[in-house]
DNA sequence: ATGGTAGGTACCCTA
């Protein structure tokens, strides 16, 4: 089973390259963030034609929005409101695999970016981000056991490790890599023992990015990236990880997203 | 230290 996550920054504008990724990488399940599309306008037809007939999405006008497009039918679907807002940042599905008994829950997350100032007293967006991650920690801890097979993917908007950013020193006070955010994400990871699946394939000493800002005139030459997009699994799936792929070439396509697709293959 | 780009929307917000 191949699960792919991608922040596409408008599903309507980026529909052709989502289809291109589906064709090229053949993921079974595609989780999108920042669809920026109200549900009645979601462009489902070509995804259906491409074999992704099972869809679950929650979008709104202008901002945010998450979607799960799948070749595999859903056993159940969920949509969540987080920190008292209905802002379309968290949905989940359950799928059944032949190889394990329990249905596998797949959570698609779009954690708030958090604004520019890393201070909760001066910046409500940063406070919202920290509260969001806190709430996810509590949610996973109270809703699930460590023995349940689960996958969490998405744009977490936090690069936790030293080599998840181009310069640990220069980004230590930049939102996405501050100690307080890393601490919150670490607590969320510990909630039910999430394993950072992508980093099991790449040593922590090696630079690894999934996002390059639009504001660099040559993203590849400057290579000032960050690893903001993640795939986590719980213990029952940790022994079933087969391969990973960061589809960096997508950053060079015309009208690219600033994030690239991240894919995990599991033996399921 | 600063400002750089992109998308959606409606003349500005978020990233």
Asked whether strand B has any atom less than 7 Å from the CB of A217, the reply is yes
Question: How far, in Å, CA of A189 to CA of A255, rounded?
Answer: 34
Separation between the CA of A116 and the C1’ of B13 (whole angstroms): 14
Separation between the CA of A69 and the C1’ of B10 (whole angstroms): 31
Q: Which residue is nearest to nucleotide B3 (CA to C1')?
A: A215
The pTM is what? 0.98
In this prediction, residue A79 carries a pLDDT of: 98
In this prediction, residue A59 carries a pLDDT of: 98
94-153 of chain A touching strand B, CB 7 A cut-off: 112-115, 125
- Within 8 A by CB and 6+ apart from A79, the residues are A56, A58, A90, A91, A92
pLDDT in tens, A149-194: 999 999 999 999 999 999 999 999 999 999 999 999 999 999 999 9
Closest nt by CA–C1' to A216 = B4
The four Cα atoms A116, A137, A267, A21 give a dihedral, to 10 degrees, of -30
pLDDT in tens, A51-69: 999 999 999 999 999 999 9
Nucleotides of strand B within 7 Å of the protein's CB atoms = 3-9, 14-15
* Other beta carbons less than 10 A from residue A99's beta carbon: 10
Separation between the CA of A132 and the C1’ of B14 (whole angstroms): 17
Confidence tier at A25 by pLDDT (50, 70, 90): very high
- In chain A the domains, ranked by start, together with CATH numbers, are 2-266 (3.60.10.10)
């Amino acid at each position: 089973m191949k699960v792919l996550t991608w922040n596409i920054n408008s599903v309507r504008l980026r529909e052709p390259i989502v289809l291109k990724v589906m064709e090229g990488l053949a993921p079974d399940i595609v989780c999108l963030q920042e669809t920026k599309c109200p549900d009645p306008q979601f462009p489902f037809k070509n995804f259906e034609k491409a074999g992704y007939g099972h869809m679950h999405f929650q979008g709104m006008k202008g901002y945010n929005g998450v979607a799960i497009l799948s070749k595999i039918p859903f056993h159940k679907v969920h949509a969540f409101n987080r920190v008292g807002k209905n802002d379309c940042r968290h949905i989940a599905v359950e799928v059944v695999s032949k190889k394990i008994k329990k249905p596998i829950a797949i959570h698609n997350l779009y954690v708030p970016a958090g604004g520019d100032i890393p201070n909760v007293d001066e910046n409500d967006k940063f406070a919202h981000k920290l509260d969001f991650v806190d709430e996810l920690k509590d949610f996973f801890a109270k809703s699930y056991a460590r023995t349940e097979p689960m996958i969490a993917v998405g744009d977490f908007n936090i690069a936790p490790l030293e080599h998840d950013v181009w310069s640990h020193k220069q980004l230590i006070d930049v939102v996405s890599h501050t100690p307080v955010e890393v601490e919150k994400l670490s607590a969320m990871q510990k909630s039910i023992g999430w394993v950072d699946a992508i980093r099991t394939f790449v040593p922590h000493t090696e630079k690894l990015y999934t996002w390059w800002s639009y504001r660099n005139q040559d993203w590849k030459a400057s290579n000032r990236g960050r690893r903001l997009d993640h795939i986590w699994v719980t213990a029952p799936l940790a022994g079933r990880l087969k391969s990973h792929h960061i589809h960096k070439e997508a950053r060079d396509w015309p009208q690219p997203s600033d994030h690239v697709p991240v894919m995990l293959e599991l033996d399921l």
